Structure formats: C-alpha cells, structure tokens
Structure 1
Amino acid sequence: MLDRRAQTLLKTLIERYIAEGQPVGSRTLSKFSGLELSPATIRNVMSDLEELGFISSPHTSAGRIPTARGYRLFVDSLLTVRPLAQAELSEIRGAIQPDQPQRLISHASQLLSELTQFAGVVIAPRRSQPKIRQIEFLALSDKRILLIIVTESGDVQNRILFTQRTYGPSELTEAANYLNQNFAGLDFQQIRGRVQDELRQLRTDMTELMSAAIAAGNEAVSDTSAQYVISGERNLLEVADLSSNMDRLRRLFGLFEQRTSLSQLLDLSSHAEGVQVFIGGESGIAPLDECSVVAAPYEVDGQVVGTIGVIGPTRMAYERVIPIVDITAKLLANALSAP
C-alpha cells in the first residue's frame, strides 16, 4: 500500500514519537530516517500519510503523531522486535519457576508490570466444569420454577427459571427424571452438546423447560467471571498520555474492577497463535480506546488454559513489550506443565 520511502518515514515518525512523546516534524524525520530527501518532499509524503489516515496533526503543533491505523501498520509490517537483554531474560526465568499455580500466576502478573511499567494481567487456568449428580425442579408459583443442581462433589446450586406457561408437579418430575437418567455424571457443556437432537424428539411443550434448565444450570456451575490477577494498575497513573484525562482513567480503572469485558477480550487471544496486539478501538471496549493490549495464550500439557497480557498506552515500545509477553507466556507454560 505504501512505497518504501513512505514506509521508512512512517516507521521513523512512530519510533521517534514513542521515544519522545512529542509530535514529529520534517527536520526530525530528515535527521533520523537515513533518507536524503528535501524538507518539501518529506512534507508531501507526510501529507499523503495523513490523507491515508496513518498520522494526524495536533492543532497546536506543526508536527505529526501516529493514529491507531498507523500503529496497526507499524506493528504488523514495520516493527523490528528487539531481543530481550540477558538481564531481563534472567529476571523472567528467576521469577517463573515451578511453584503453586496461584503464586505463579501472581508472579507472572507482577513481572509483566515491573518490566513494562504498565499493567500486567494473567488469566488463571480454567477450572473444569463439575459433573452433575442430580437435578430437581420445584414449582414456586405459576411461572416460576426453582432449579436445584447437585454436583458430584456435593455442591448445591439453585437458579430460578421463568417459563412461558405453568408446569404441573408430574411434568416437573418427568423432566427431572429424564435429565437424571440420561445425563447424570456429565457436565452441562456435555449435556448441551448431546441434548440438542434429543430435545427435538420430546414433546414441544417440554423443550422450553429443558432448554431453560440447561442454560441456567450451565451458568450456575460455570466460573463466569474468569479468574485473573492484575498488577501495576497504578503505573498507568504515571503515563502522561493517560493521566491527562482523569475521566478516561476512571473508566479504565472501572474496567479493571468490573473485569468481564477485559476477560472476554483476553479470552479472544486464547484462540490465537502467539502474541496478539489490540490497538485503541480495535478492542471494542470504550475505556481502552487510548490503550493497547498485548496478549498471548499459554498452554499446560498442550492445552491452552489461559492468557497473559500487558495494558498500556498506544504509545508504547512494542518492540520490547511483545517479546516480554511472548517469553513470559512460554516460561509460564513450562513452569505449570512441570511434573
């Protein structure tokens, strides 16, 4: 899309802006790009890059700054990832040693924060769903039914179901017997997978109750808010790009407390190979519009079980943060898989 000259100038502009935090002008580009171009030629290329949406001009300056689109091209095509210094590698290896899983997760989160000076986050390995021993239905009123779930470990969960019609005691007993006889010893994910075809063969007036019970039961026994550890949130108070807008910071810290949206974003990374970078609005989460998330999945015994990541401003040293996240994910996987 861009010729080599435009790519070089865009790469130089983004590198200088990341390093200095100031809009970058033609003189700086001439000095650091290694290209022998006249100021007029550089200005023309900058004008083209701005028209394409890769850079923008702040009102108060003659220089330019990268846009989220510019950062995206930079990370995907222009970035030269820098190998970590031996001291940083040794620090990561020293902190990520086979240990109790929860302590390992905490250490990894703190390490990401300390090495990047941003916020480090680690989603803990998911717990497997409990198997179901018994299900019961109890009528509360005309269209309210109490679903009682007993797991094989003896844990009891209750959920209230709101139905379109009233179910009699014999129908509730029939539904409970059907589920117990056919699906005891399975978890709700397995039940859901097996029951779709079988529900079609049941009387249509019973399918609503069965479907509602499976959906509510799955929610009751699932760990719906993924367990994660976040460290170094206060580092973001020291980032000028973020701390200049207190309302934005409040929304960002609200996101850390609420957790669900951030967990869903990090969960997306668990389906990818290697490091993923979400820049600004790409996350689809409003409080992260001025932030980037660098995330990578980690495995235990060949199975992806969680995600680690760094949350910071879009103006971050990607060439350094990406290998920190990548290596920490690999070492965490090794430590958790150790016998």
Structure 2
Amino acid sequence: MASPTITDLTDRARDIFRLVVEDYLASGQPVGSKALAQSGAVNLSPASIRSVLSELEILGLLAAPHTSAGRMPTESGLRMFVDGIMQVAEPTAEERATIERKLSAPGPIESALEKTSAMLSEISGAAGMVMVPRREPRLAQMRLVALDERRALAVLVGEDGGIENRVLDIGDGLSPADLVEAGNYVTAQLAGRTLAEAARAMQAEIASGRSALGEAARHLVEAGIATWSEDAARRPVLIVRGASNLLDESALTDIERVRSLIDDLENKQSVAELLESAREAESARIFIGAENRLFALSGSSVIASPYRDREGRVVGVLGVIGPTRLNYARVVPIVDFTARSLGRIIG
C-alpha cells in the first residue's frame, strides 16, 4: 500500500495526528486517547479519539509499542509530519546572538568548527556534527628536515599559521644541502597556492626542463609531489561532539539501539558520506530512521545543512543526530541559522 499523504486525512484525523506527534516529540512517551481528551485540544470523547487513532494506525502513521499503551508516530508518520504539518519555530533573537557570538570569537577555523559542533549538541540535546571544509589551505613555506638516511620530514606552513608534517621516503644519496635546495624550490613555488596547485606547477616546470634544481633535489621533489598532494579525504573530516547526550533516560530501556548508534558514529567516514548527500540542499535535509541505511538499525534521525563561503560555494556540512523524537520544529531552523553564521565566518 502506498504511503498516505496529508490530503488523505480528514481535518479531524489531521488534528489528532498532529497532537499525538507533538506530544510524543515533547515527552518521548506514547500518547493515549484519555490524555488527548483531557487536554481539551480536541472536542471529542475518548472513544471517538480511539477510533481515529485506530484509523491512523491502520494507515501506518501511528503505532502502539504494546497493548493498552498509547500511540506514537512511525517513521512514515514522522516524515508526513515534517513535510506537511510541522511549523518551525525560528531561533529567538537571544539564540541568534548567542550563536553568532560564540562562532565569531577569535581563533583558528578549527576552533570555530569545534565550537559549532559543541553548540549544536547543547542546543539540540543530541550529538552535533560538523564536516571540515574540503578546502586546502594556501601555503606559505615548506622545510625539509632529515630524520635518518632514508627519511625526511616535510614541514608545511599555511598562510593561516597552521602547520602540517608529512614523512617522506627520500632514498639514498641526498645531502642536507639537497634537502635545503628542494625545500627552497617548493617554497618559491607555493607563493599563496594550495598544495595541489603548487604540485601541478612544479610537475609542469620539471617536465619542461625549466627547473634549475640539481639532480638529487629534482628527484626528491618529483617523488614528494604525490605525497604532498594527497587527497584531503584521508584526513579526519568529521567533528562529533555531545554523543553522551544520546544516553538519556529513554536510552536505558533501549540500550541496544543506543549502542548501535554509538557504533555508527565511530564510523566517521560513513557518517561523513551521509552528510555529503546534503551538500546540494538549499536548506536543512532531514533523514528519519531507516530512510538512511547507516542509521536504520539504531532508528535515529539526522538533520543536516550545508554551509557556504562568502562566494556562495559549499565548503562543508553540519548537523545533529539523535533519536527520531528530536524537536524538529526547533532544531531545523537552528541548524540552518548556524550554517549561515559559520559560512560568514570562514569567508
């Protein structure tokens, strides 16, 4: 049977469905007909409400965890609610000011990314995630330092002050002077370029015979280019903070689900690939439970939004992950606003 749409529901069924979902997302507990009747939100008897709840259960939008319990939304029900009923609550002026103040504090971009992940976790009560921008730093200098007869350390200094070290296999017959010559040549070629850009320029110059490098230094540069320009995907690309938030009171009754989720988060490459699928989105994307294979077993939801630099280019993705009963109406606009704020900061 095809999944029902919001237009398939009567006004009465839509109102009761919305109340069940909102109450469940707020409390994490199944919602019963008696509680709905006593709330005064619907002018129906408990018996009439039970009849509507049964209809919604037949449609696959609600489920009862056990006999005599109230109802809770299924993943299909949550998807319908998010797409057709939910009214988002925009961040308050205080929340916006807090986010911008924390992100604009002085420090390197890595610090802003750490703060972003921690802040998303704090606001959502779930785990915050930020993908590091897939953008190589522009480099200012490189030095080569001998470690032993066959290995050297390449020290790469970025224009932003960041430092990265890489070990190279240099083979035999290289003197300290050869290392200095190769280091000076690479530094001259960097000149504000990324490592990949500098590598292409060096390859072209060496191939054309224009390079004034000595034989030993030339071989070192040629051998090192591939190592220096390794794909950034081999570096850690994901910052996760607040995983302990996933161990709330409800987790004690479903410890296997939480253990599965923690295991999923340990596989950062797979989580990063999931976030990657949100790179082209105009705003936040919501993945609910089994809609994504990675989190199908743990029954978790992911809210992810791309962040862009000042030229409008997507440089990364951030978001939160938690149980499917996340407060979507509050968290979705928070994630979107944080993405816009981070994009303004990273330039």
Corresponding position: 1:331 with 2:321:
no
Corresponding position: 1:320 with 2:335:
no
Residue 299 of structure 1, CA deviation: 0.3
Residues 60 and 76 in structure 2, CA contact (< 8 A), matched pair in contact too: yes
Q: Which among 280, 300, 311 is matched to residue 321 of structure 2?
A: 311
Corresponding position: 1:116 with 2:116:
no
Provide the rounded CA distance (Å) in 2 between the counterparts of 1:319 and 1:103: 28
* Range 65-74 or range 80-89, more displaced: 80-89
Provide the rounded CA distance (Å) in 1 between the counterparts of 2:314 and 2:40: 41
Residues 14 and 71 in structure 1, CA contact (< 8 A), matched pair in contact too: yes
Q: Which residue of 2 aligns with 1:35?
A: 42
Q: Which residue of 1 aligns with 2:177?
A: none
Provide the rounded CA distance (Å) in 2 between the counterparts of 1:33 and 1:277: 32
Residue 305 of structure 1, CA deviation: 0.8
Q: Which among 6, 13, 21 is matched to residue 28 of structure 2?
A: 21
3-state SS in 1 of match to 2:247: helix
Residues 261 and 298 in structure 2, CA contact (< 8 A), matched pair in contact too: no
Alignment of 1:293-308 (within 5 A): 293-300=302-309, 301-308=311-318
Provide the rounded CA distance (Å) in 2 between the counterparts of 1:290 and 1:78: 22
Per-residue CA deviation, residues 182-220 of structure 1 (Å, 9 max, x unaligned), is: xx838xxxxxxxxxxxxxxxxxxxxxxxxxxxxx99x96
Per-residue CA deviation, residues 266-299 of structure 1 (Å, 9 max, x unaligned), is: 0001121101111111111146642111110000
Alignment of 1:177-192 (within 5 A): 185=200
Residue 112 of structure 1, CA deviation: 0.5
Provide the rounded CA distance (Å) in 2 between the counterparts of 1:255 and 1:17: 25
Report how many aligned residue pairs link the two structures. Answer: 264
Return closer, same or farther for 1:289/1:257 CA change in 2, 3 Å cut-off.
closer
Residue 28 of structure 1, CA deviation: 2.1
Gaps (5+ residues) in structure 1?
A: 131-152, 159-183, 187-215
Q: Which residue of 2 aligns with 1:190?
A: none
Q: Which residue of 1 aligns with 2:172?
A: none
Which amino acid is 1:260 matched to?
Q
Residue 155 of structure 1, CA deviation: 7.5
Corresponding position: 1:46 with 2:61:
no
Return closer, same or farther for 1:236/1:62 CA change in 2, 3 Å cut-off.
closer
* Range 80-89 or range 255-264, more displaced: 80-89
Corresponding position: 1:230 with 2:243:
no
Corresponding position: 1:58 with 2:73:
no
Corresponding position: 1:10 with 2:25:
no
Provide the rounded CA distance (Å) in 1 between the counterparts of 2:235 and 2:18: 39
Q: Which residue of 1 aligns with 2:259?
A: 250
Alignment of 1:144-155 (within 5 A): none
Which amino acid is 2:245 matched to?
N
Provide the rounded CA distance (Å) in 2 between the counterparts of 1:261 and 1:78: 31
Instruction: Give me the TM-score of the superposition, normalised by structure 2.
Output: 0.68
- Percent of paired sites with the same residue: 38
Q: Which residue of 2 aligns with 1:127?
A: 135
Which amino acid is 1:4 matched to?
D
Q: Which residue of 2 aligns with 1:97?
A: 104
Provide the rounded CA distance (Å) in 2 between the counterparts of 1:35 and 1:13: 11
Residues 12 and 33 in structure 1, CA contact (< 8 A), matched pair in contact too: no
Per-residue CA deviation, residues 245-265 of structure 1 (Å, 9 max, x unaligned), is: 333323322222221111111
Provide the rounded CA distance (Å) in 2 between the counterparts of 1:326 and 1:288: 27
Provide the rounded CA distance (Å) in 2 between the counterparts of 1:269 and 1:61: 40
Return closer, same or farther for 1:305/1:332 CA change in 2, 3 Å cut-off.
same
Which amino acid is 2:327 matched to?
A
Residues 260 and 298 in structure 2, CA contact (< 8 A), matched pair in contact too: no
Q: Which residue of 1 aligns with 2:299?
A: 290
Residue 84 of structure 1, CA deviation: 2.1
Q: Which residue of 2 aligns with 1:82?
A: 89
Residues 123 and 226 in structure 1, CA contact (< 8 A), matched pair in contact too: no
3-state SS in 1 of match to 2:335: helix
* Range 4-13 or range 30-39, more displaced: 30-39
Provide the rounded CA distance (Å) in 1 between the counterparts of 2:168 and 2:253: 46
Residues 252 and 287 in structure 1, CA contact (< 8 A), matched pair in contact too: no
Instruction: Give me the TM-score of the superposition, normalised by structure 1.
Output: 0.70
Which amino acid is 1:331 matched to?
S
Provide the rounded CA distance (Å) in 1 between the counterparts of 2:283 and 2:236: 21
Return closer, same or farther for 1:330/1:129 CA change in 2, 3 Å cut-off.
closer
3-state SS in 2 of match to 1:285: helix
Residues 248 and 287 in structure 1, CA contact (< 8 A), matched pair in contact too: no
Corresponding position: 1:71 with 2:81:
no
Residues 90 and 334 in structure 2, CA contact (< 8 A), matched pair in contact too: no
Which amino acid is 2:134 matched to?
R
Per-residue CA deviation, residues 20-45 of structure 1 (Å, 9 max, x unaligned), is: 22211112223447332233322221
